[in-house]
Structure 1
Amino acid sequence: MTPKALLASALAATVLLPALGTAPASAEDVPRPIGDTTAPVGEAPPPAGDVAVPAGEAVAPAGEVADPASAGDDPASAGDAEGAFSSTYRHNTFERPAAGSAYTLAEWEKDGWYAPSARGLEERAVIDDSVPAHGGGQSLRVLYPEGKIGPRDSGGLAPFRLTPAREYYLSFWARLDEDFSWGTTSFGGKLGFGLAGGAGCSGGDVCTGENGYSSRVVWRRDGKAELYYYHMDKKGEFGDSEPLVADGAAVHLPRGEWVHIAQRVRVNTVTDGQASPDGEIEVFYNGEPAAMVTGLRLVTDEDLVDKAYLWSFFGGSTEGFAPAHDSYVWYDDLKVSTSRADICELGGCV
């Protein structure tokens, strides 16, 4: 284990944080289709006092939940978390917990990762040793149940807090099961983890520069992989997409084998409240550049990269987006760092 990983583990082991519940639901917690060309499904406003939970998208991937950390957190808890998890490097090998146990928020905290709330972890996230892990003997298995869509019933969601920095790398390995279903009659969903800042603009929101941004990888028909991101100059109501390309061909996620996904987000600079078009998002597939977007305006305020988001589920607002049968993805060797040197698959860790 690296010195940084030892330090993160020691910090996590010496600080006990209160148990955290799930994010409250609202009337907006109804995902909209991925990949459809139809208009978005109508939304009902959340009841007064509820944490707003944006629905998903019509043309682009759907069903995401707004960052619970941005609304209604207990300030004392937030302050405690910032002190406990102040490192800009984190690594999760999923080796500590017992195989077969649920990997809840409390278990994430023991491994040095803090989120104010989550969905799906207790019900659908399990430490598993039944398939060969990418590294070590265990990995994190996430269930996407037959006929279910959206983060309430499919996959999982948790906004893990990062020490704010202008640039972060996020890296993980993923393995889709051999019979992974892309959907039933419609196809699309979010894979694994992404990066976000501020309020994590998403769900069809207008990105004003003061409500954050988000960046994720999604799958479409036949597993076609794309970068999906929200920024101030997005072309339509929903986020923009950029296909992942490797060896001159579109990337289609394989079933039954481990693949590596990494992304780098660099937040634009701001001068006198004006966003400079110098933000960047880069995605790597199996260690090679696969997508690059430059000239981005993400923020006009002081928001940086401050969340590594578990943001993975099917949907889509209709059952056609749901898997035709129970499907699983295994995740392993999750890392976040401000330094490329910490990402072994990108030439670091020498």
Structure 2
Amino acid sequence: MAFESLVFMSLLAFAISCNAATTASPSAIASSYSLTTSTSLPFPTATLSSSSAESYMKSSWPLNDDKIDFGADDLSFVSDPFPDSSSDSNSPVLQVTYPAGSYSHGTGGAQFTALWNPSSGDKFKSMLLTYELAFDTDFDFVKGGKLPGIRGGPEENWCSGGNVANGSNCFSSRVMWRTDGEGEVYSYFLLPDGLCDNSNYICNQDNYGTSIDRGSFSFVTGQWNRVTMLVRLNDPVDTANGQVQLYYNNVEAIDQSILQYRNSSKVYISGFYFSTFFGGSDSSWATPNEVHTYFRNVQMWASTEAA
């Protein structure tokens, strides 16, 4: 074999091995971190209007304070608009509506926290969340918007919307879309000295959250996108060794391990933070037309260990 061919084959093998090292299914990721406890959110077997959807979620999902914080009227279970070979096309999916002109402030989208088995007393320090997400084919990303993630702490309704994380109250780690569908992790946590000088982080003003690795992946409209997020709390609590890892369609896009989610042992991971809306806090973020996102296959794995 010619020398040039040998070089090409070696480079090809190297590229394949690199890709394989950063590609994994959610269950494989959970196994690699010894996250042995798992759960999933049940979905109805038939489509449901917004009023029926709210009743179903209150009875079937472990909602914090037994309520949807806002946007119950914008939630419904509908037929899968983008059926594919990976799912049961007869199983309804959760639809979120964003009315024309809506942006944060409860004007569109929805928000709630699904606590994971709060009666068990488990104090999770590591959690892996995965879900599938689809955007309408004509979805206009405008300037950006929030998507679900993970949250924790004794003050469940804080650490978002400009309510800061002080290390003992709470944290949140959501996904966010930006212009043209660029993705990032968007978190409320402590900011150790020097973190905001790191080019992987954009520390927002006015006490809002921190953007992590903006543009490291991009969402596609008109089809299903899989999001898988791992959060591991810093341990001990005075050390910035917490981690967030995000896989997009089973390919690693983000991995940061210098985070400080807490400075108190009172802060643990609570569960699934379903939070989605356009914004941003002013009308420049608003959607010009009514659009929708869709969600299915929500699963979580967890451990009471941080490592």
> One fold, TM greater than 0.5?
yes
Is 2:140 the counterpart of 1:181?
A: yes
| Cα distance, 1:239 vs structure 2 | 2.2
Residues 155-184 of structure 1 deviation map (CA, whole Å, 9 limit, x = unaligned): 10001112430101110000100001213x
Is 2:121 the counterpart of 1:157?
A: no
| Cα distance, 1:338 vs structure 2 | 1.2
Residues 276-301 of structure 1 deviation map (CA, whole Å, 9 limit, x = unaligned): 22211111100111101112111122
In 2, the alpha carbon distance for the partners of 1:170 and 1:319 equals 31
| Cα distance, 1:308 vs structure 2 | 1.0
Is 2:146 the counterpart of 1:190?
A: yes
Contact conserved, 1:223 with 1:253, CA < 8 A, in 2? yes
Contact conserved, 2:80 with 2:93, CA < 8 A, in 1? no
- 1:1-350 to 2 correspondence within 5 Å? 88-92=37-41, 94-96=43-45, 98-102=46-50, 104-116=53-65, 117-129=67-79, 131-133=81-83, 135-136=87-88, 137=90, 138-162=92-116, 163=118, 164-183=123-142, 187-191=143-147, 193-198=148-153, 199=155, 200-233=158-191, 235=196, 236=203, 237-243=207-213, 250-270=216-236, 274-302=237-265, 303-338=267-302
In 2, the alpha carbon distance for the partners of 1:129 and 1:266 equals 35
Residues 254-275 of structure 1 deviation map (CA, whole Å, 9 limit, x = unaligned): 11010100101111123xxx52
| Cα distance, 1:197 vs structure 2 | 1.0
Number of aligned residues: 241
AA aligned opposite 1:241: S
| Cα distance, 1:118 vs structure 2 | 1.6
Q: Which runs of 5+ in 1 are unaligned?
A: 1-86, 340-350
In 2, the alpha carbon distance for the partners of 1:130 and 1:308 equals 22
| Structure with more contact order per residue of length (Cα contacts < 8 Å, sep ≥ 6) | 2
AA aligned opposite 2:81: V
In 2, the alpha carbon distance for the partners of 1:264 and 1:251 equals 16
Using structure 1 for the length normalisation, give the TM-score: 0.64
Contact conserved, 1:228 with 1:239, CA < 8 A, in 2? yes
| Alignment root-mean-square deviation, CA | 2.2
Q: Which moved more, 1:227-236 or 1:291-300?
A: 227-236
In 2, the alpha carbon distance for the partners of 1:238 and 1:121 equals 22
Q: Which has the larger radius of gyration?
A: 2
Contact conserved, 1:314 with 1:322, CA < 8 A, in 2? yes
Residues 67-101 of structure 1 deviation map (CA, whole Å, 9 limit, x = unaligned): xxxxxxxxxxxxxxxxxxxx9532135243x3142
Name 1:71's counterpart in structure 2: none
In 2, the alpha carbon distance for the partners of 1:182 and 1:258 equals 16
Q: Which runs of 5+ in 2 are unaligned?
A: 1-35, 197-202
In 2, the alpha carbon distance for the partners of 1:206 and 1:110 equals 31
In 1, the alpha carbon distance for the partners of 2:161 and 2:71 equals 22
In 2, the alpha carbon distance for the partners of 1:326 and 1:306 equals 32
